[in-house]
């Protein structure tokens, strides 16, 4: 590990960043309008990124939690629920940056919780945001921190906490190039909790203080929501058939899934691509393989004779996991590092995955240790889907999640104490 930067160097790097960030408003509105024209911003909400609130501030104590994208935000739900149960006078603001996250988050928000987009990291926008919301605590999840937002929040005496932090060796190496900036920013957090020992050590090396290892919040999140009417209709459509799901897939995952499905035509595969913008190309590939398919986006149903149901919609994994008994978790056959297995486990699916789980090493190791997941090599999937022990593995995974959901009390209590103790 390298020597920590001096206080002077740390301060100089942050001051330079904050000075440069004053130029952001010169480019912000045109840039956001271009993104809007390309469908990458919400037409009704893009001005939230300029610090303009779309909702009133709730009365009483407010805890603000930020995570960059959908998976990270969804992982916070269990923690919010635990805090909400312990403090009925506390409300919660969740911010994220990706447009794709907003609809899914809205369907899965805990009570007394609202969502906004985080403003761009410029002093003018951050002032508007903080003037309106006046949070009593700021909680940042995983590894994203915006230096301007952190500095502006700390300057108002609002305590800062980082939870569920995870930083890989590769991410750590990139951040060491700006070690002085990260040291200054991370030193402003009065509480930091990490998912694993490696992340904790890397955060300490970058300047974080008093890091605790508490494990991942993802396995303690409540099950994803699903529309009850949709679920009833789809259960009727697939009645009598074996259903399995390939979730958050990339091309390598899809090649494995479709090869297996070609050998299991009596079953129904629900194929859920990570990027629904690829759905047309996937549909062409299904036709080339002579696999009959229906598409969610076209309002079609997975009736008898349909081999693959292309679930090309955002935010419905809670629906697909409820219909299936087994889930192939995507990102593991494509050098992506894998995606979250706990959402499937929480809804009673046996978990199957490919070899690359570098983004969730601890999570998949825990599932494997308790006999709740199966690691596959290329070509193994069809045989794995026919294993007689899948139901037992699903039950073990569901049991892990249920145990974890009762483990958030200490962290929730510590965060509420920070919020209430603000001077």
Q: Which residues are catalytic?
A: 72
Q: Are 123 and 152 in contact (CB under 8 A)?
A: yes
CA distance 277 to 153: 37
| Helix, strand or coil, per DSSP, at residue 294 | strand
CA distance 273 to 249: 5
Instruction: Give the phi and the psi of residue 229 in degrees, each rounded to 5.
Output: -70, -40
DSSP secondary-structure letter at 2? P
| Helix, strand or coil, per DSSP, at residue 259 | helix
Q: Dihedral angle at the C-alpha atoms of 411, 416, 419, 422, nearest 10 degrees?
A: -100
The residue to which tokens 């035509």 are assigned: 265
Dihedral angle sign, alpha carbons of residues 390, 391, 394, 399: negative
| Helix, strand or coil, per DSSP, at residue 57 | coil
Instruction: Give the phi and the psi of residue 161 in degrees, each rounded to 5.
Output: -130, 145
CA distance 62 to 112: 10
């Amino acid at each position: 590990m390298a020597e920590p930067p001096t206080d002077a160097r740390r301060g100089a790097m942050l001051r330079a960043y904050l000075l440069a960030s004053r130029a952001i408003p010169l480019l912000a509105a045109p840039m956001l309008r271009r993104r809007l024209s390309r469908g990458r911003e919400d037409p009704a909400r893009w001005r939230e990124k300029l610090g303009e609130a779309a909702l009133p501030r709730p009365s009483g104590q407010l805890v603000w939690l930020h995570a960059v994208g959908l998976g990270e935000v969804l992982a916070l739900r269990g923690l919010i629920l635990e805090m909400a149960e312990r403090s009925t006078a506390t409300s919660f603001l969740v911010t994220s940056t990706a447009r794709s996250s907003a609809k899914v988050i809205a369907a899965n928000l805990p009570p007394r919780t609202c969502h906004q987009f985080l403003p761009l990291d410029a002093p003018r926008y951050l002032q508007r945001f903080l003037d309106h919301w006046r949070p009593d605590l700021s909680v940042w999840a995983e590894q994203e921190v915006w230096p301007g937002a952190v500095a502006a929040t700390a300057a108002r005496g609002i305590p800062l906490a980082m939870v569920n932090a995870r930083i890989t060796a590769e991410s750590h190496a990139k951040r060491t190039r700006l070690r002085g900036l990260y040291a200054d920013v991370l030193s402003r957090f009065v509480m930091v909790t990490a998912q694993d020992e490696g992340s904790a050590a890397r955060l300490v090396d970058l300047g974080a203080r008093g890091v605790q290892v508490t494990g991942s919040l993802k396995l303690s999140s409540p099950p994803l929501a699903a529309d009850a009417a949709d679920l009833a209709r789809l259960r009727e459509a697939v009645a009598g058939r074996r259903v399995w799901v390939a979730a958050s897939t990339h091309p390598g995952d899809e090649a494995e899934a479709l090869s297996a499905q070609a050998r299991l035509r009596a079953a129904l595969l629900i194929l859920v691509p990570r990027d629904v913008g690829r759905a047309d190309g996937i549909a062409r590939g299904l036709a080339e393989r002579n696999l009959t398919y229906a598409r969610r986006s076209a309002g079609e149903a997975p009736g008898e004779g349909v081999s693959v149901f292309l679930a090309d919609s955002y935010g419905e994994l809670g629906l697909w996991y409820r219909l299936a008994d087994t889930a192939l978790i995507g990102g593991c056959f494509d050098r992506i590092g894998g995606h979250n297995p706990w959402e499937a486990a929480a809804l009673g699916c046996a978990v199957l995955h490919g070899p690359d789980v570098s983004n969730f090493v601890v999570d998949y190791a825990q599932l494997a240790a308790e006999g709740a997941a199966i690691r596959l090599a290329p070509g193994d999937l069809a045989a794995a889907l026919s294993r007689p022990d899948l139901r037992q593995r699903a039950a073990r995974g569901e049991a892990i999640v249920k145990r974890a959901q009762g483990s958030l009390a200490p962290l929730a209590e510590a965060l509420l104490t920070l919020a209430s103790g603000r001077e």
